Structure 1
Amino acid sequence: MVENIQQIYLTNPATKKAWQQFLTSQGLDNFFNQELAGLDQTFAIYDGQEQMVGTGSIAGQTLKYLAVSTAGASKGARFNRLVSMLETTLAQEGIFHLFVFTKVEYEQSFVHVGFTTLAKTNTGLILEKGLPNVASFRAALPKKPASAMRVAAVVLNANPFTKGHRYLIEKAAQQNDFVYVFVVEEDQSLFTTEERLGLVQEGTSDLTNIVVATGGPYMVSSLSFPAYFLKDDSQRVFYQTRLDAALFKEQIAKPLAITSRYVGTEPLSQTTGQYNQALEEVLPPEVQLVLVPRMLEPAGSQQVISARTVRKAIAAGRVQEVVDMLPASSVSFIENHLTDLQARIKKGQKIDGN
């Protein structure tokens, strides 16, 4: 019986319905609008009766919604064919580094076709294939001095870089021999990745025992925040934060000899508070989580320094109200680019979040 694989279009209501019904029959029954909106291409395998027996989608460099029926086919045949098609499609677009998120029971199927497991939890796992990979990412980082015994890490978005971020990094630098400062690479903030990285580098240029780098796709990125195979939205933050924490512990902290990670306490954001809780559960005992109380401005007040507050001031054109929250380099950048930043907000760039 001849089977064929072809691209399908979820903009067609009938096709989308059949696709969702097939995935539901295979145990993938949650279709978040945000997940569906991010799909670039979707393929399906049809049997001789034109029944869907497999499907897989591409979102950027990530494989998603991949499932096959094993009925009427040799073990692994449909799965291997489908993954091969997705890889070939990405290769034609010049993408040779792939990620996939799946359930724990599917780990060996992906390992069999060349994927490497990066991290796993009881709920699922993340794998990658191709180059550059996590080993390439680590190799490109500046090396810590041989004399550095206490090595710490700080991961921040810095949207924009505030005195609060500076305070957190200073604490880590004072208490350790060497500190990796990772700036989230995901370019979904008011300030671009390049701008945020530059602000952190300029704002910490006097600290001699730190190195500033982007976190690549391995720290607090959409790659490590899958949700499409979760049963309901209430599981989302719980699962996502623990997978991200496990990825940091296994692929970043252990190979780089990082023994502590510094985070600020989070009185304003429930999601960030839950993320800190996940880190506290997953990182120890190998990696100590150090909670640093948020810096107040003015000192002794109840006003915590918040990048969100700064962004709102930018939107309202009241930057002078928040200059005490910012290093001089951040103030200068904002004043010089205020018109452009406000234009981004008017075009729909969100200013909420962390």
Structure 2
Amino acid sequence: MNNEIVDLHLNDPQVRKTWEDFLTSLGITDFQSQETDAIDFTLGIYEGDKLVATGSAAGNILKYIGVCNKGVDQGSRFNTIVSALISRLFQQQIFHLFVFTKLKYSDSFQHVGFHELAHSDVAALLETGDSSIDDYLKAIPRVDDQTNKRVAGIVMNANPFTRGHRYLVEQAAGENDVVYVFVVNTDASLFTTAERFELVKQGTADLKNVIVVNGGDYMVSYATFPAYFLPTPDQQVDYQTTLDARIFRDRIAPALNIKTRYLGTEPLSRTTGIYNQVLQRELPPQVAVKIVDRKTTDDGTIVTATAVRKAIADDQLDSLAALLPPSTTNFINQHLDSLQFRIKKGMNINGN
């Protein structure tokens, strides 16, 4: 095989070893299951029997792109492998693509049609395809004279929507003319995106200045950020959250006149605690950060979605009334068998 695009079947141990050895030689060494299990397909280019380029796709995200340029024009193999990935995804009717990459490779992706959304000192997020962040922002509802309104934003996973989430939204709604609640769009949670979105809408329906919005591809959750090219977990979290914060600060907030981002205090989750710290570092002065103490039950217990998911798993629904608004309680009662089946099938109920 000479410079042909071929499929690499990573379930073949020898192919997998060749692939990992090649990427390791380029400085990519993280092949944890949380990164590799999401891969839908992998392509490669061989020079003789030697792998000289590879790239993978997970959903609409390109990842594990590595190229050896020895003996060829700079950029030629990179262009070939990226173009092949894009072509394959287009054939699968996936037309809006993202790549997370080291900052030094941002220009290379821009040369093949990607547009940079944000970057940090070490990494960049880019997109290409038939839609863009501008299209996403244009579709979000506005109110009359919004540029002269006090506008706030909240981003939540709401897995599921609890009295704690409701309390945070109430605080923002009482202090602003308009509040956007962005629901993270990823189906890596016990409750699907559609379910979480509907529960947030139902749980805030009486708050007339609240607009619930699907976070689309731009309120990025931890589950979708490839971080295999960064060496330590702390660096990975910082890189992920920095990009997320800068997209919100530089693209989303100005378009909607959002001046304040509301956060709940985070005494329990280290990852979310770091996320909050990064938001406080990155958003001001363009976007003020207001931190609201977490809601507690009458006995002082912090209201968390994690406790709700555990109660579902343990079939301890009597404890949920103090944690949930009626709309979420009703949904769980009506769909308990389905939720418990998802857990039995291996859905992770830990995390946020």
* TM-score, normalized by the shorter chain, greater than 0.5: yes
C-alpha displacement at 1:314, in angstroms?
A: 1.9
Deviations 1:128-153, CA, capped at 9 Å, x for gaps: 00122211211111113315422110
The partner residue of 1:321 within 319, 342, 349 is: 319
Q: Which is worse superposed, 174-183 or 322-331?
A: 322-331
Following TM superposition, the consecutive aligned residue runs of length 4 or more in structure 1 with deviations greater than 4 angstroms are none
Identity of aligned residues (%): 49
Q: Which is worse superposed, 176-185 or 220-229?
A: 220-229
- For residues 222-261 of structure 1, what are the structure 2 equivalents within 5 Å? 225-261=225-261
Structure-1 separation of matches of 2:80 and 2:275: 38
Structure-1 separation of matches of 2:307 and 2:262: 22
Q: Please state whether the residue corresponding to 1:326 is helix, strand or coil.
A: coil
Structure-2 separation of matches of 1:304 and 1:335: 22
C-alpha displacement at 1:308, in angstroms?
A: 1.3
C-alpha displacement at 1:114, in angstroms?
A: 0.7
Deviations 1:75-120, CA, capped at 9 Å, x for gaps: 2211111111111101111111111111111111111111000111
| 1:3–1:316 CA distance, 2 compared to 1 (3 A) | closer
- Code of the residue aligned with 1:308 in structure 2: it is T
- For residues 132-151 of structure 1, what are the structure 2 equivalents within 5 Å? 132-147=131-146, 148-151=148-151
Aligned to 1:310: 308
**Native 8 Å contact 1:297 1:324 kept in 2:** yes
Structure-1 separation of matches of 2:233 and 2:317: 37
Structure-1 separation of matches of 2:163 and 2:144: 27
- Code of the residue aligned with 2:156 in structure 1: it is L
C-alpha displacement at 1:170, in angstroms?
A: 0.9
Deviations 1:317-353, CA, capped at 9 Å, x for gaps: 2222220221121122222222222222222222221
Structure-1 separation of matches of 2:334 and 2:132: 37
Deviations 1:168-212, CA, capped at 9 Å, x for gaps: 001111111111101111112222211111111111111111100
C-alpha displacement at 1:124, in angstroms?
A: 0.5
- Code of the residue aligned with 1:283 in structure 2: it is L
**Native 8 Å contact 1:118 1:250 kept in 2:** no
- For residues 1-354 of structure 1, what are the structure 2 equivalents within 5 Å? 2-47=2-47, 49-147=48-146, 148-221=148-221, 225-298=225-298, 301-354=299-352
Structure-2 separation of matches of 1:352 and 1:30: 23
The normalised TM-score by structure 1 is 0.94
**Native 8 Å contact 1:30 1:232 kept in 2:** no
Structure-2 separation of matches of 1:315 and 1:6: 44
The normalised TM-score by structure 2 is 0.95
How much is the aligned-residue C-alpha RMSD, in angstroms? 1.7
Structure-2 separation of matches of 1:269 and 1:29: 27
C-alpha displacement at 1:37, in angstroms?
A: 1.1
**Native 8 Å contact 2:45 2:54 kept in 1:** yes
